[in-house]
Amino acid sequence: MELGFRDEITNKVDSKGRVSIPAAFRAVLAEGDPACETGKNPRMVLMHGMGGDACLTGYTVQAAKEMEQKILAMPYGRDRKKLLRRLASKSIPLAIDDNGRIILRKDLIEKFNIPDTAVFVGMVELFQIWNPDDYAADSADIDADIDDEDVLELLNELRIGG
């Protein structure tokens, strides 16, 4: 995943729940799908109810597989069971159609309030799909936390060796 998922893009959702995945996101999905042949449509994994955000989250097939492998490597017990159940029950493998779209299930459209417009938000290793108003509110909360700081100054704390 050379560049990862980046940008904010708003797309329409049609009456059947079809929404176009941004072309740049499809390229990342293709790169992260080992079975995707050049010129073919990639697959992806859509997760819901995993993180606490009021949005859907998209992953490459490879990223989803890596999460799964980490959980399967855990010792048997309650934590493994919780994580595995959540991952398996809250993730949907999807194929992207010839028009670059996926179909959002009706229950997910209702739960995440995405009836006619969706904002795709790149987050490098994953992307989110939001209702535009909910995304604006979430962004305002994050922006309020940062105040007037130079966001890049936050990276200074992460420097290794000085």
Q: Is the dihedral of CA 27, 10, 43, 73 positive or negative?
A: positive
Number of domains in the chain: 1
pTM of the predicted model as reported, rounded to 2 decimal places = 0.88
Assess contact for 148 and 24: CB atoms under 8 A.
no
Q: Is residue 149 part of a domain?
A: no
Domain that holds residue 111: 8-132
Question: What is the radius of gyration, based on Cα positions, of the chain?
Answer: 17
Q: What is the CATH number of the domain that holds 64?
A: 3.40.1550.20
Q: Is residue 146 part of a domain?
A: no
Assess contact for 45 and 64: CB atoms under 8 A.
yes
Q: Is residue 157 part of a domain?
A: no
Q: Is residue 54 part of a domain?
A: yes
Which of 143, 148, 124, 121 lies closest to 132 in space, CA to CA?
121
Q: Is residue 76 part of a domain?
A: yes
Q: Is residue 137 part of a domain?
A: no
Question: Per residue of the chain (162 residues), what is the pLDDT tens digit?
Answer: 568 999 999 999 999 999 999 999 999 999 999 998 887 899 999 999 877 789 999 999 999 999 999 999 999 999 999 999 999 999 999 999 999 999 999 999 999 999 999 999 999 999 999 999 999 998 887 766 666 566 667 667 666 654
